[in-house]
Amino acid sequence: MNTPLPLPPQHHGVGSLACVGLGMTLGSHLTPLARSHIEQADVVFAALSDSIVEAWLHGMHPDVRSLQPYYREGKSRMRTYREWVDVMMTEVRAGKRACGVFYGHPGIFAWSPHKAIEVARVEGFEAHMEPGISAEDCLYADLGIDPGRFGCQHFEASQLLFYERRIDVTGYLVLWQVGVVGDRSLKRFSTGSQHRQVLVDVLAADYPLDHEIILYRAATLPIEQARIRRVGLRDLPHTQLTAEETVILPPAQELKPNVAVQERLAALE
């Protein structure tokens, strides 16, 4: 039997907000503290990966309100995210202990939890973020990557196109949200092969077109396995890609010793 962990005392009638991570895989990634925030909340808001996970959450609390219906094709995602903040803060201002539950980590590729906590704190309410196991964490485990070996760069794929960024090809390059790469409207749920071709053209300045890349999706249900596919960089535009898949480019060159700095450090010894 799970005994809820004690949370900070709250004065009666004073609202608070906790944004917690459910982790990526149903049931196996939830921390005891995140569970306590959910079970002890007055109202729970859910932005989760699928309906099965949401149904599981309903078994933990009698008042779970899905945030998914705020999404709509052709509607700016930023407008949806602002609505999420408003609906959570409405309950906080009404004196409720509100809990926002987000799949993975609530602070990674998630604008609303950060903004809601910021607004709550500015208005004088207690607000807290409780981390969860993210897709990045699962990626390292499933692909056998140690970020400390060669280093990792992480970019939101569209940001890599919209701005001038420097890529270090001696480390891993992890690109998130490639399924909507190049979408300037924030209204689409996916973009097509022509958008991915622009991404490939940008990457081709640093990587050979035959460089093997990895398409990765973490498991969200215990009965699933992580989805791992390998294709050539040139094939990315014509490869079916889901919104949940992440693109990883392994190192394309070996680390180059910085001889001058190594000699300077040797002199210190």
Residue spans in the chain of domains classed CATH 3.40.1010.10 = 16-133
Over the Cα atoms of the chain, what is R_g? 21
> Which pLDDT score, from 0 to 100, does residue 26 have?
86
Q: What does the pLDDT average to over 101-116?
A: 95
Q: One of 35, 65, 79, 103 is an active-site residue; which one?
A: 103
Q: One of 65, 72, 79, 81 is an active-site residue; which one?
A: 81
Catalytic annotation present for 81: yes
Give a three-class secondary structure readout of 2-53. Answer: CCCCCCCCCCCCCCEEEEEECECCCCCCCCHHHHHHHHCCCEEEEECCCHHH
Catalytic annotation present for 77: yes
Q: What does the pLDDT average to over 40-66?
A: 92
CA distances from 175 to 102, 207, 216, 218, 226 (A): 21, 14, 10, 14, 17
Confidence of residue 186 (pLDDT cuts 50, 70, 90): confident
Check whether 103 has a pLDDT greater than 70: yes
d(CA 96, CA 11): 11
Catalytic annotation present for 70: no
> In a 3-state reduction of DSSP, which class is residue 227?
strand
Q: Mind listing the pLDDT tens digit for each residue in 5-38? A: 666 555 456 899 999 999 998 888 999 999 999 9
Cβ contact 20:117 at 8 Å = no
In 3D space, the residue among 223, 263, 225, 231 whose CA is nearest the CA of residue 249 turns out to be: 231
Residue 151, Cα to own-chain centre: how many angstroms? 19
In 3D space, the residue among 92, 83, 71, 82 whose CA is nearest the CA of residue 18 turns out to be: 92
d(CA 107, CA 125): 19
Check whether 189 has a pLDDT greater than 80: no
Residue spans in the chain of domains classed CATH 3.30.950.10 = 136-249
Q: How many C-beta atoms surround the C-beta of residue 32 within 10 A? A: 10
CATH 3.40.1010.10 given to domain 16-133: yes
Q: Mind listing the pLDDT tens digit for each residue in 154-164? A: 999 999 999 99
Q: One of 70, 77, 207, 216 is an active-site residue; which one?
A: 77
**The pTM is what?**
0.87
CATH of 136-249, one of 3.30.950.10, 3.40.30.10, 3.40.50.970, 3.30.70.100: 3.30.950.10
> Which pLDDT score, from 0 to 100, does residue 230 have?
98
In 3D space, the residue among 233, 226, 236, 225 whose CA is nearest the CA of residue 250 turns out to be: 233
> In a 3-state reduction of DSSP, which class is residue 197?
helix
